[in-house]
Chain A
């Protein structure tokens, strides 16, 4: 193993006292704390890190940062880790990806020899036909060659990802000299600042500079860190700017989550990303050992790694020249120092796993193992693009500059021009002051708006004029391609020859060329290759760069893992006041919408039988409950439900069904009238929130003159359904102030009374199970007492709690449908069998025009009860109902269970109207391919269609 580690250097970020052991392709290596995976491997002499995507060419370090196009590795079970920026951790198991069977010997390298088959548009041209061949052959073979690492579904140990919301006055993207200057000035002006830096340390390009640069960093960092209004996020990237300065920040290596997505709403955004060094196109420019000047400076100065022994340096700018001093101090022999201004050039590099020979512009061939390229800069204008800017190419400086920005987005630093460290800091400070001024004025405006009468913290701050002196645009040669062709996109293996070929085939606009050749579409996303691609196109078409334009940079600026996008879900988990009891008594939890509910207590079939034979109690608290008061409640009910509500006496209950504006059934439930101007409305459990919002919407916007007050009481009232032939016997023992006699308190009536000593309970004679049943709505603070009293007093009656699964069985036996299960997003009112309920002659009902249209149709599916002819066959929900032996679909099973009461399977299904008549035989296609027959029933109810039991 070679040792490329240099003696200690002034600005190095490694801790030589902390040695870290790790493995690379199974072999043991060591690095230091502060190393990246790439710098640690390079310090031990590793030169080849990967095979390229298409041609499987050997690839090594080119930029030594996050954007390095070929440093993607697998770390343990995490694929696509960027070795150029990921910090080394002891025990990491690192391996090359995109190799088959191994990094040293890759079968795909044969692609190089058949390169003509992989010309631009190769996939479009080649894998078209025959069509069946794609699925059976191409796909399977190509997958072996596809780039990317391996995901381990079972063993992932990444823990939970997270999300955060933030509201800084000023958000600064980039922690170099200009960005830090902006953050300090903005904070001094009174703004709260979030400073986001992509690298693990602040400092930008000064970090790999000389002694003066390191001193400047130290001063800036201490000012930043000592200011209480600046929050610093390092190893974090601003990945997108959206409307109204909605800024996405990806925070990596957070202490509690591998990645955290921060959604920040910033009054002002300062864009200070600096510049990205641009590769140069020539034959062999992707050979390991060809590095950009910044990569060489980072390797030497940050990680004390000697990048090679004999170097050819091609430079067009002072930064490129500074690399010469670094190389000399690292003991690297300079074979040739070439100046672009003097017409000197690199034409070709030879060498397989490493640079061996370099052909120079003057025809000489020299031996070297390192080619250092310092030929220009790309302005990473992504965030400016996302703010609506269309940067314009300046040929004299050979890069793009901002054209027009909105007031709440400001740019500073290298992206706007060149300057000394002092000039960059000064420009940053001026930009920070301006950003703060605009942010504080907008904060003032928002406070005035929101608080109306309250004191908005003094008068509106003065508007600061933009008096910034722009940074100079130092002349730079347009230096894109040598006299030879080479790689433009190292992520996607697209060469300049491919781009010329695409132009000849007619894909000669930058946007078309990109999509046809996939140039700029790899993981680098154009940061290294966009400008070179535009330059090749301009050359091929003999046009000016200005007229070629660029592709539009879209979010995200840096890749975001799917885990971070999913993040932590802020949705609350709701528990009824009885959920602790359920769990203490063996209930299996069921997640239903926001609620945790008892699915069953071990024996759902037994629980069902007990309801039919004795008495059971179920916690139905998630049932939506809206308390409606006011003289105009009836009008509201008339408006939102399809049926009539005028003549509902106090103490009575009515079923209501609701449709959306498109006539699709959206919710249903029972509403009871408790007093003259007082109703209690119930909704489906899942629809509770939506119905509440719907009522508020109509009351606030459509009928603001109506006098109705809506209060959501879903959690405030715990709902307990007492169901079974012995339910009245049980309640007689506990209820006071209510006459429970069936004549006095019949089905579909509601009373108020005292239960188990708890006053103000609402007692409904309703139920989903088809049994004699009462639903108690109990103030939640007393719910546990009532629940336990029911159990204690019902012991001799055989009382048992039952869960949601048991209720589903019982309601299906009774033929009650569930909105959203037995209906879907296309089920209109006639399909659900609401025929007798819907009143089309009402003056105004939500969805009325579509309802009328629906009732004039004869082709809508119909919800019917179905019994399979073999009583032991229980179809699965969503099994298709088909036409005979064909696969023509005529409907589907929407609910299906084995009925404990009947000892046979029972179903509900949505069927074509031709199958809806009672007695029709239908064919159900089971998931295993068998076809079974079933018979359509006369009533939805399989059990007690006459309703004798519930009316008892």
Chain B
């Protein structure tokens, strides 16, 4: 089984994600999210 399409790391803590503003500006952008608390922050914060 190939790793990329089927398996993802799922760390507790800050991860970098791509979000998509579907109902708004249609931009894809990078954001950081804490998987334990669902806090989000700008990538510049790190």
Contacts and interface: CB of A to CB of B under 8 A. Distances in A.
A389 B42 CA distance: 26
A393 B38 CA distance: 28
Contacts of B6: 662
A452 B36 CA distance: 30
Contact of B20 (A244, A693, A850): A693
Contacts of A853: 2
A850 B28 contact: no
B4 A661 contact: yes
A205 B28 CA distance: 50
B2 A700 contact: no
B8 interface: no
Contacts of B22: 693
A693 B20 CA distance: 9
A622 B13 CA distance: 43
Contact of A850 (B5, B18, B26, B38): B5
B2 A849 contact: yes
A192 B22 CA distance: 27
Interface in B1-46: 2, 4-6, 18, 20, 22, 26-28, 37-38, 40
A697 interface: yes
A330 B20 CA distance: 63
A850 B2 CA distance: 7
Nearest to B3: A849
A244 B26 CA distance: 22
Contacts of A847: 5
A452 to B, nearest CB: 13
B19 to A, nearest CB: 11
B15 to A, nearest CB: 15
Interface in A210-248: 243-244
Contacts of B26: 696
- Most chain A beta-carbon neighbours within 10 Å: one of B2, B22, B27, B38: B2
A200 B23 CA distance: 35
A696 B5 contact: no
Contacts of A697: 18, 20, 28
Interface in A102-130: none
A696 B28 contact: yes
Contacts of A701: 18, 28
A849 B27 contact: no
Contacts of A661: 4-5
B42 to A, nearest CB: 9
A700 B5 contact: no
A700 B27 contact: yes
A243 B38 CA distance: 7
B17 to A, nearest CB: 11
A696 B29 CA distance: 12
Nearest to A700: B28
Contacts of B2: 849-850, 853
A586 B5 CA distance: 48
Nearest to B6: A662
B28 A244 contact: no
Contacts of B37: 388
B4 A849 contact: yes
Interface string A384-422: 000010000000000000000000000000000000000
Contacts of B20: 693, 697
A850 B18 CA distance: 23
A693 B27 CA distance: 10
A438 to B, nearest CB: 16
Nearest to A244: B38
Contacts of A662: 5-6
A700 B40 CA distance: 21
Nearest to B27: A700
A265 to B, nearest CB: 13
A660 B6 CA distance: 12
A662 B5 CA distance: 6
Interface in A623-666: 660-662
Contacts of B40: 244
A244 B27 CA distance: 21
Contacts of A660: 5
B2 to A, nearest CB: 6
Interface of A: 243-244, 388, 660-662, 693, 696-697, 700-701, 847, 849-850, 853
Ranked nearest first, the 8 interchain pairs of A and B with the lowest CB-CB distance are A243-B38, A661-B5, A700-B28, A662-B5, A701-B28, A849-B2, A697-B28, A701-B18
6 contacts: A388-B37, A661-B5, A662-B6, A697-B28, A700-B28, A701-B18
Given A661-B4, A700-B27, A701-B18, 12 more contacts: A244-B38, A244-B40, A388-B37, A660-B5, A693-B20, A693-B22, A697-B18, A697-B20, A700-B28, A701-B28, A850-B2, A850-B5
